[in-house]
Structure 1
Amino acid sequence: MPSPTDASTPARAAPAARPANTPAAPAARFLSGSLLRHVVVMAGTGAIGLVAVFAVDLINLFYISLLGEKQIAAAVGFAGVVAFFHTSICIGMMIGITACVARLIGENQLVRARRMATHSLLIMVGITAVLGLGTVLFLHPLLTALGATGEVARLAQRYLTITMPSLPFLGLGMASSALLRSVGDARRSMLVTLSAALSTACLDPLFIFAFGLGLDGAAIVAVMSRTLMVVIGLHGVWRVHQLLGAVERAHLAADARTLAAIAGPAVLTNLATPVGAAFVTHSVAQFGASAVAGQATIDRVTPVAFGLIYSLSGAVGPILSQNLGAGQFARVRECMRASVWFMLLAVGTAWLLLALLQGPLIRAFSLEGVAAEMVHAFCSWVCASFFFAGALFVANTAFNNLGRPLWSTGFNWARATLGTIPFALWGAQYGPVQVMAGQGAGLIIFGTLALLTALRLTRRLGAATAAP
């Protein structure tokens, strides 16, 4: 159990007096206090916020499943795989933003922190705008590559055509959430994305059923929820914490390179997951629309059920970065140990809940046949592989924030390719459940290797700092 304080940490100099009418300095909250408590609070609230992003898709799928048409549910499944690429890129950018801004705050470089925050928002908007436009232009070949055909492909393309122009709103909202986490405001960071899920839950029935818009109604609500994220996020960043400074063109390129050094590998790392998911979806598609609907349900339930694990890389990152920036290396190591214990407890709890609630879950999404069989297998035993997915996420936290982001990229892509493709090809010879089992086997191998490497990295950090 991490100790509340680290007696070996040198005392920090008292901050200089702040001139009148100067914005309050963002507080470096993670340099003292229980590290386990910081991990629980940041990962817990971060999970609520991150789960809310994925819950929007889960809520959409739930209401659409009530229409009773497998083709529509399968179309949402294919659209979700495409959207997963976009969300993964935004999450990778969030990791880079929190690491850069939190480290500057830990170093007490507040002017640079505000400048980096402003430039990060601009960069996020630019990236997501280009990404959204490119996706719209190449929707048909993308969906064809995933295995979507006929009416299912047409419906998926229609849904994505409506939602893609709002991708910059999603990026801006998630970037604002990252900035709030970088100053330790876990509650407001959570509210940014939680507001999107709550608005979706309230508006989906109205637009899908009351207005009779069906799939189009779900897409329109997704756009509205992203707009709400931007409003709440920017209010917290700009008005509450005064974290935004002026745009400085002379420093924009340099700040972009600094952000890219962390966010670039983090984005590449995160893209490995949807690439693996896309291959699994392609492998499952050969078993029909029912199998795709089952995979779509699993893909949306997974980040909600294991949201605590998905949140670790982004939520624990500010804790590691602030202590690394302040030179408190013993607390960096303690934070890693606390993250491992937290991961074990979180995955065990999620597995138990899924096993107990699998029946109601199958009925809620109107699943039957192959789809029901897939969800039953996942909830009963396949999801146990998330112990090793959790190990991979904990390792990514260390790699991204301790100067080894490319290691995270390497392990994730190895898992998404060597740890997915051969196993999924083997499983596709037998059935969709075997495809999922093969994917889990790859997680076991590469999750274990990544965590062992991360723990060795933190031990080497300790040895280096202990040397005279």
Structure 2
Amino acid sequence: MTATSPAAPRFVSGPILRHVIVMAGTGAIGLIAVFAVDLANLFYISILGQKPIAAAIGFAGAVGFFQTAISIGMTIGVGAVASREIGAGRREEARRIAGASVALMVIVGAIVGIGTVLALGPILDFLGAAGETRRLAAGYLTITSPSLPLTAAGMGFAALLRAAGDARRAMNVTLAGAVATALLDPLFIFGLHLDLEGAAIATVLARLLLCGLGWHAAHRRHDLLARIEPRHLWQDVHPVLAIAGPAILTNLATPVGAAYVTRAMAGFGPDAVAGQATIDRISPVAFGLVYALTGAVGPILGQNLGAGRLDRLRETLRDSLLVVLATVLAAWAVLAAAERAILFVFSAEGDARVLIDLFCSWLAGGFVFTGCLFVANAAFNNLGYPLLSTLFNWGRATLGTIPFVAIGRAYGPTGVLYGQTLGSFVFGLIAVIVAFRVTRRLRAVPPSAVEHGLAIPSGSGRAALATLAAPAARSNRG
């Protein structure tokens, strides 16, 4: 065994801004690599010059968004609980919880993956897929969906590495999967002439590598995974599920909103769907640092909460928002400058060209409010208020999407895009205001309570948070 472990929690001392930048920066490298490969897939498909295939990628992406959202919700629970236990010095408890939780993630991934294949017909009907586009999307998802347990396990291992403060290895695990996909995609798509089916096979092989490397880093290098004890299984996974349950509901809200947007775009034809699919793949690459903040901020908040360092929670929230603002402004400038190149590379025509032009020139700046929502959600999930995260995400996916997009639809596909952006502005702004109020209401607790992981919110009529062994058992009643 070559396991190593940090002598002390890494985030309870030192400059918060530095921790945020290092964690988000390393996380962003892995995420951007993954999203860049996804974008490259779309580029390879565009070279084939077949619009139904490009549209099929859009529909398959919407379904894949649902699948990944569930795994992300589980990783939020694992990371939040493990980082708190590590921050409180209870490493053995963290190991036991981690082992049981990753096993649970694999089981849930298998259920979701197989269930997707069995329900493909109704799913694609709902999204508005038809004809050759529908057939191609169904073929892609039939190949990739059963491998979802590999994705779930790999993401779980990466979350544990971040919880332990090893951002570099968490980045390397994700980066390796992305590099494998980048190398295998052109081989299967062009070398073996398998087109979209080749992209699906490459995805499965990359997921296998992601899982294997994640296991090696988490178990062999850090010894973060204890043997599963059936007698204590429920006790181990319960605190994770208490956070993961609301987090899954929270994350499912985003693909629900995205699915409604995709359905609205489908009414304007394949060009509009392809344009939306391109924007959906450009955004994570351009704003990778913002996407990474959700996973980066969680361990910082969790360790400081576990150590009783409540004074550092508000500072973490503030510095994270500064990173969001700087990132979005920089990315917006790059997108505006590279607009013509993007249109050329993806052979955008008709509505696809109009939508991409609008996004790069004007609407990309609105992502700062999506970033605000990401940071607020991380605060809610890691400070014991996961249901607030659920509330705001579903609010954005329903009240912040459906009425705005429905009104915008009357003005064509650009109206749909405007409506989606406006909803993010409203809910992102409100969410971050509430997040700051949450950090203000947390008050210091006696040393004996800190030893048991208690963080009690002030304010009359508010119930104390449960111990960190069950951090989200109670919802915010304020």
Q: What TM-score does the superposition give when structure 2 sets the normalisation length?
A: 0.91
Correspondence 1:67 to 2:57: no
Q: 1:171 to 1:114 in 2, by over 3 A?
A: same
1:418 to 374, 380, 399: 399
Partner amino acid, structure 2, of 1:257 = H
Correspondence 1:317 to 2:298: yes
Cα shift readout 1:157-195 (whole Å, capped 9, x = no counterpart): 001111111111111111111011011111110111111
Q: Distance in 2 between matches of 1:364 and 1:22?
A: 46
1:349 to 330, 333, 347: 330
Q: Distance in 1 between matches of 2:106 and 2:457?
A: 43
Q: 1:22 to 1:193 in 2, by over 3 A?
A: closer
Contact in 2 for aligned 1:395/1:408 (Cα 8 Å): yes
2:388 to 402, 407, 412: 407
Which residue pairs with 2:263 in the alignment?
282
How much is the aligned-residue C-alpha RMSD, in angstroms?
1.6
**Which residues in structure 2 correspond to 1:57-136 (within 5 Å)?**
57-136=38-117
Q: Distance in 2 between matches of 1:132 and 1:328?
A: 40
Instruction: State the secondary structure of the residue aligned to 2:400.
Output: coil
Contact in 2 for aligned 1:309/1:346 (Cα 8 Å): yes
Instruction: State the secondary structure of the residue aligned to 2:11.
Output: helix
| Offset, 1:55 | 3.2
| Offset, 1:45 | 1.0
Instruction: State the secondary structure of the residue aligned to 1:31.
Output: coil
Correspondence 1:184 to 2:148: no
Q: Distance in 2 between matches of 1:259 and 1:56?
A: 31
Q: Mind listing any 5+ residue stretches in structure 2 that lack a counterpart? A: 446-455, 459-478
Partner amino acid, structure 2, of 1:375 = I
Contact in 1 for aligned 2:3/2:221 (Cα 8 Å): no
Correspondence 1:253 to 2:220: no
Contact in 2 for aligned 1:36/1:335 (Cα 8 Å): yes
Which residue pairs with 1:434 in the alignment?
415
Q: Distance in 1 between matches of 2:92 and 2:182?
A: 40
Partner amino acid, structure 2, of 1:39 = V
| Offset, 1:54 | 3.0
Q: Distance in 2 between matches of 1:329 and 1:255?
A: 26
Contact in 2 for aligned 1:25/1:110 (Cα 8 Å): no
Cα shift readout 1:115-167 (whole Å, capped 9, x = no counterpart): 01111110110000000000000001101110100110000000111111111
- Shifted more, 56-65 versus 229-238: the winner is 56-65
Q: Distance in 1 between matches of 2:335 and 2:252?
A: 26
Q: 1:23 to 1:372 in 2, by over 3 A?
A: closer
Contact in 1 for aligned 2:4/2:221 (Cα 8 Å): no
Which residue pairs with 1:168 in the alignment?
149
Instruction: State the secondary structure of the residue aligned to 1:311.
Output: helix
Structure 1 vs Structure 2: percent identity of aligned residues? 57
Q: 1:462 to 1:129 in 2, by over 3 A?
A: same
**Which residues in structure 2 correspond to 1:10-21 (within 5 Å)?**
none
Cα shift readout 1:356-411 (whole Å, capped 9, x = no counterpart): 11111111111111101100001111122111111111111111111111001001
| Offset, 1:52 | 3.3
Q: Distance in 2 between matches of 1:127 and 1:466?
A: 33
Q: 1:119 to 1:367 in 2, by over 3 A?
A: same
Partner amino acid, structure 1, of 2:321 = V
Q: 1:69 to 1:23 in 2, by over 3 A?
A: closer
**Which residues in structure 2 correspond to 1:146-295 (within 5 Å)?**
146-295=127-276
Q: 1:370 to 1:466 in 2, by over 3 A?
A: closer
1:384 to 365, 373, 377: 365
Which residue pairs with 1:326 in the alignment?
307
Q: Mind listing any 5+ residue stretches in structure 1 that lack a counterpart? A: 1-20
Instruction: State the secondary structure of the residue aligned to 1:29.
Output: coil
Q: Distance in 2 between matches of 1:441 and 1:457?
A: 25
Q: What TM-score does the superposition give when structure 1 sets the normalisation length?
A: 0.93
Contact in 1 for aligned 2:96/2:226 (Cα 8 Å): yes
Which residue pairs with 1:12 in the alignment?
none
Q: 1:436 to 1:463 in 2, by over 3 A?
A: farther
Which residue pairs with 2:285 in the alignment?
304
Cα shift readout 1:78-128 (whole Å, capped 9, x = no counterpart): 001000111111112111111110100011111111101111110110000
Count of aligned positions: 447
Contact in 2 for aligned 1:162/1:220 (Cα 8 Å): yes
Instruction: State the secondary structure of the residue aligned to 2:48.
Output: coil
| Offset, 1:50 | 2.6
| Offset, 1:456 | 1.1
Q: 1:442 to 1:198 in 2, by over 3 A?
A: same
Q: Distance in 1 between matches of 2:389 and 2:204?
A: 32
Partner amino acid, structure 2, of 1:188 = R
Q: Distance in 2 between matches of 1:43 and 1:307?
A: 9
| Offset, 1:466 | 11
